[in-house]
């Protein structure tokens, strides 16, 4: 009885394994441009706007475009405690703030546009 239960288990496991192979075989890998890469911002943390840009990563676009986007995003914010409430260069963005105190806060901004993405982190002194 034990061996027939084991054989049934193996048959079911093999069938599940065979069903999983075609699903993964048909999937194509994303293009090389879709890989996320980190961009250097350490040499001049204030070069991208009135805040301290701490990190920048891009997917599907260049670091130069990412840096230009960060400048446009900060113009949209209007400075200080402001938030950008519209699309920037066609990207839809969400911003999460942390370590908020009266004189400063940290933020992480994630922006997406048709398979492309730009994420940056900054500290704002108010």
Could you tell me which of 89, 34, 25 has the C-alpha nearest to residue 57? 34
Q: Is 102 helix (H, G, I), strand (E, B) or coil?
A: coil
The confidence score (pLDDT) of residue 76 equals 93
Q: What average pLDDT score do residues 1-26 get?
A: 48
Does the pLDDT of residue 19 top 60, yes or no? no
- Sheet bearing 104-113, strands edge to edge: 36-39, 52-59, 116-125, 104-113, 92-101
Q: Would strands 52-59 and 116-125 be described as parallel, antiparallel, or unpaired? A: antiparallel
| For residue 21, pLDDT beyond 70 | no
> Does the global pTM surpass 0.75?
no
- How high does pLDDT run on average in the chain? 80
Residues 42-58 pLDDT 10s: 777 778 887 899 999 99
């Amino acid at each position: 009885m034990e061996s027939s239960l084991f054989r049934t288990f193996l048959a079911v496991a093999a069938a599940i394994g065979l069903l999983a192979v075609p699903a993964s075989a048909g999937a194509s890998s994303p293009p090389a441009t879709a890989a996320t890469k980190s961009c250097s911002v350490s040499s001049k943390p204030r070069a991208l706007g009135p805040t301290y840009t701490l990190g920048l990563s891009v997917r599907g676009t260049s670091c130069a475009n990412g840096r230009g986007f960060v400048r446009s995003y900060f113009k949209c914010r209007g400075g200080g405690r402001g938030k950008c409430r519209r699309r920037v260069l066609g990207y839809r963005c969400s911003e999460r703030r942390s370590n908020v105190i009266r004189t400063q806060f940290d933020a992480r901004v994630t922006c997406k546009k048709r398979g492309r993405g730009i994420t940056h982190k900054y500290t704002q002194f108010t």
